[in-house]
Structure 1
């Protein structure tokens, strides 16, 4: 799934047919769906599936996915025609409506939510840009109760499919996720600038090469933004497109200057000295 989301940062093609939807589903759920829950129709599922009430935990059925498969295909094609071609409706509204409609069709036994969120993220890129679209899945996870309630409200008999409530909730979740993303990016930008200044002023680096400083900066990013214990020589060699011998020599010199630390062996992981940025 993570690899699939990386595609949103590059060029991609919007789905045009039901088979395109199935391909997206296969890509982002590969190896994550139980074999008995995989699609068993020509493109989608061929049997009935049910959506249960999540808020109360009562197990009450709140919606039955569309059947038969021929109708699933027909409604999915209608959805794609709507989101790809209807220019009279603002794109953000089309994405919200389509997101609900995909859940209403429920073309798969399992994996509908993650597939719908990925597809919606693709179309949100038109207005929000590629990086900001990554906030949708995160926002839906953070505000999961609110997100699921929005579906249940629109699915209820009383609402009769009225969409305003769902559209408002969907857009509110995106806005809140974007606000949090903006705050975190500002914080991370400050950390990177602080790291750069610290390395620029580091006297031990003055007599060394640019490669030494560049590796220190990469290790600084690993220190601030990655929960791992460091990077291996192989990792650094791949990043800098240099031989392992060259990287190992540079890392040894940084170790000798007590700028980095080693953790473990075979493989050995290297990281910035833990208290370096606190001094």
Structure 2
């Protein structure tokens, strides 16, 4: 299904590869592994990047040994940095563009979280603070500010929003930073759970319910989500969804697209 925006704010948080110069294929480094077939240093274009800034093997990335690429999402930072530097590109100013892309992606991640929070029923004072922060983050992207100092400034607001949403689940499980790698969580009731920073690598969440669960920083790589209900999950990102393994029965929030490789 196509991802519907949380509201107008998320329009700029959707990757538009047609408006980008392939920054995700140039800026990040990756090492030969199960996720990438080759080593690629940071700032070096992938050999599969064509002159028109398109991936030559985009439709067969997993089969060609690049499943890690399918789990990457710049959250709209790529096209925004491309537009800021136009008509120059990473070919003209590689270090400058690379640094801008990395910072913009961090800020866009925060924008995603704040936009998610603003879509929730929250106290007026908290909503005002979040809306003000969203506007400041948006301006910070245009100004090329570093993302690092913003995380400790935004996190308290996100925690307050999470607490406000999860009060509906007083018996919710507290699993912050829990090591649940490979855990059998089939059918688990995780509604309203605090799963911030939890390691869910390869966990079996088949049929689990995660409404209002706080998933900031949760590692969902290889997590099995067949038939799981993630509608309403807090701060779930496209990157987390793409890294997991779901199926046709997996229920996602409206604003998140179902990965094409999820079948059955």
Q: TM-score, normalised by structure 1?
A: 0.28
Larger proportion of helix:
1
Larger proportion of strand:
1
